[in-house]
Amino acid sequence: MPEPMSELTGLGVSPGRTAGPVYRMSPPPSLPAEPPSVTDSAAEVEAAAAALRFVADELTRLSGQVEGAAADVLDTESMMAVDPTLADAVSRRVDAGRAAAWAITDAIAEQQEAFAAIGGYFAERAADLADIRDRAVARLLGLPMPGLPMPGEPYVLLADDLSPADTALLDPATVLAIVTRRGGPTSHTAILAKARGLPAVVGCAGVLDLPDGAVVSVDGTTGFVSTVDDAEVASIRAEARRERARLAAFTGPGRTKDGHPVPLMLNVGGAADLVPDTEGVGLFRTEFLFLGRTSAPTVAEQERAYAELFGALGDHKVVLRTLDAGADKPLPFLGLAAEDNPALGVRGLRIARDHPAVLADQLEAVSRAATAAAADVWVMAPMVATAAEAGAFVEEVRKAGLPTAGVMIEVPAAALQARRLLEVVDFVSIGTNDLSQYTMAADRMNGALADLLDPWQPAVLELVAGVASAGREAGKPVGVCGESAGDPLLALVFVGMGVTSLSMSGPSVAAVRAALAAHTLADCERLAQLAMDAPDAPSARRAVAEAGA
């Protein structure tokens, strides 16, 4: 076997550094080479249905063991397992002579191919389908369920990709870090690794060539995975412990060394995602109320969900994003047509063009929940491209009785027209995930394009700086709620540009708070200029790291 490379590079999606031996996920169940003949189609259909119901029930059970984002994604996968479309596809294959396990495998392979072709949200759900397949096949063949390795020592988990169930149940006391060959910055691996504070690297080609037991260092910030000596492991882990202790010493509101306030907010899907010592919520995602449903949630249902979060926040601010869905995040009750390029299609605020009642009902529910709570509720719309769209949204928000309306800056058109948008809205929030993919024409789910998706890209930084400048001129808030807000170095750059608040996952707050506390506003402005002057993303990151250390 050839000697593995000493250093591999992927996409760092959950910060932190650690070291330890690597172990792979156990392989999925294998089908026998020759499928059995089908003598009773009805019995095979029922066996397949029973296996899928078992999988759905098991995922629901696992969901009950976790909270927040982990529970949400497990519930979504559970619904996928009993989706009627999958059941129909399996039945057709049984009728064509395929035994239950083979029928499920074939039907899911077809769905995965279709999802991959659509891209975006669908492409990331291909891993969920693979997990459903493996669990159902194991059930039908009487084989052990696929799962995590148990080597008897703390380890770095290697996998081609991880299912939500696998990621949601990781024990941080045993799993030191995650490295996958596939996956993107918004995959379940990335989301759930951050929620657990585990360093994670995705899209790391060649990582599966490492043999079990090989000792590596994993840096979830830079994306570097390096083979190291056993003697280095203890020092790397000790340094990581010291860093965690150092960060934990910083508490209170976000502010620079000279006292310039920079509220550090949270990106959440519900009350379970809140963490102590929070300054509020900068991005409340509402999609989980809508996804996978055959009918829209009622105003009363939505009101209860919003009220739970608003109540938990006391008098803190919460920025609620209205429904961010479309052909890339399917909503069966809307009946949206399939699109050749859903990332550029009917999504976000554009849904209201043909389905205005969906937005009206959501705003009514938000207004009712806000009226009964002390929280300072702001509302913003996703996928806004023009000042006219922004103005129409503000009208709807005002009509619902809500006082503060804003929009997300996710497409270059909105960034370039920020001054016009800020004439009609109360605030803007920059979603750097989408802004990066639209600016660089690189699908953010494609790990092979990680270098283009880097938020340090000069073009992306220039757009952010332009929006921040427009906000300063208008005297209105400009936040950043994309994942890049949780990068301590990039946070300094954003503040130096004039960004007024940063919103991120809970585990990222401490490092950003500490970085701000070590630098004055003038320092941040100097670092921002260094980043803006750099010719490329690696140079920008390196310049800021060297000057800001």
Q: Are 216 and 322 found together in one domain?
A: no
Q: Which 8-state DSSP code applies to residue 152?
A: S
Residue 1 lies in a domain: no
Q: Are 379 and 496 found together in one domain?
A: yes
Residue 490 lies in a domain: yes
Q: Are 209 and 117 found together in one domain?
A: no
All residues at 6 or more sequence positions from 424 whose CB lies less than 8 Å from its CB, including other chains: 387, 390, 391, 394
pLDDT, position 186: 60
pLDDT, position 307: 96
Q: What gap in Å lies between CA 423 and CA 413, rounded to an integer?
A: 16
Q: Are 320 and 400 found together in one domain?
A: yes
Contact (CB, 8 A) for 161 and 180: yes
Q: Are 285 and 185 found together in one domain?
A: no
- Of 245, 276, 303, the one marking the end of a domain is 245
H-helix or E-strand spanning residue 78 = helix 68-81
pLDDT, position 3: 45
- Identity at 149, one-letter amino acid code: P
CATH of residue 109: 1.10.274.10
Residue 250 lies in a domain: no
Residue 515 lies in a domain: yes
Q: Are 308 and 405 found together in one domain?
A: yes
Cα-based distances in Å from 246 to 195, 277, 303, 409, 411: 20, 16, 40, 34, 37
Q: Are 131 and 183 found together in one domain?
A: no
Q: What gap in Å lies between CA 431 and CA 346, rounded to an integer?
A: 18
Residue 32 lies in a domain: no
- Identity at 478, one-letter amino acid code: V
pLDDT, position 121: 58
- Of 92, 112, 141, the one marking the end of a domain is 141
pLDDT, position 549: 60
Point out which residues pair with 406 in neighbouring strands.
380, 427
Catalytic residues: 188, 481
Q: Which two tokens stand for residue 407?
A: 């929009």
What are the DSSP calls for 242-294, one per residue?
A: HHHHHHHT--SS-B-TT--B--EEEEESSGGG--SS--EEEEE--GGGTTT-S
Half-sphere exposure of residue 170, counting CA atoms within 13 Å on the CB side?
Answer: 31
pLDDT, position 175: 93
Residue 36 lies in a domain: no
pLDDT, position 243: 85
Q: Are 230 and 113 found together in one domain?
A: no
CATH of residue 192: 3.50.30.10
Contact (CB, 8 A) for 182 and 447: yes
Q: Are 71 and 128 found together in one domain?
A: yes
Q: Are 101 and 225 found together in one domain?
A: no
- Of 141, 174, 202, the one marking the end of a domain is 141
Q: Are 173 and 230 found together in one domain?
A: yes
Burial code of 148-183, b = ≥16 C-beta within 10 A, e = fewer? bbeeeebbbbbbbbbbbbbbbbbeeeebbbbbbbbb
pLDDT, position 161: 82
Residue 166 lies in a domain: yes
pLDDT, position 118: 60
All residues at 6 or more sequence positions from 171 whose CB lies less than 8 Å from its CB, including other chains: none
All residues at 6 or more sequence positions from 217 whose CB lies less than 8 Å from its CB, including other chains: 17, 18, 19, 224, 225, 226, 227, 228, 232, 236
Q: Over the chain (549 residues), what is each successive 10-residue block's mean pLDDT?
A: 64 86 87 88 94 92 77 83 91 93 94 71 73 92 83 91 75 90 72 81 90 94 88 92 84 94 93 84 89 83 95 96 74 74 85 92 97 97 97 98 98 98 98 93 73 89 98 98 88 98 90 94 97 94 85
What residue numbers bound the domain in which 399 lies? Answer: 259-548
Point out which residues pair with 180 in neighbouring strands.
159
pTM (predicted TM-score): 0.76
Residue 306 lies in a domain: yes
CATH of residue 459: 3.20.20.60
Q: Are 171 and 69 found together in one domain?
A: no
- Per the structure, the count of domains in the chain is 3
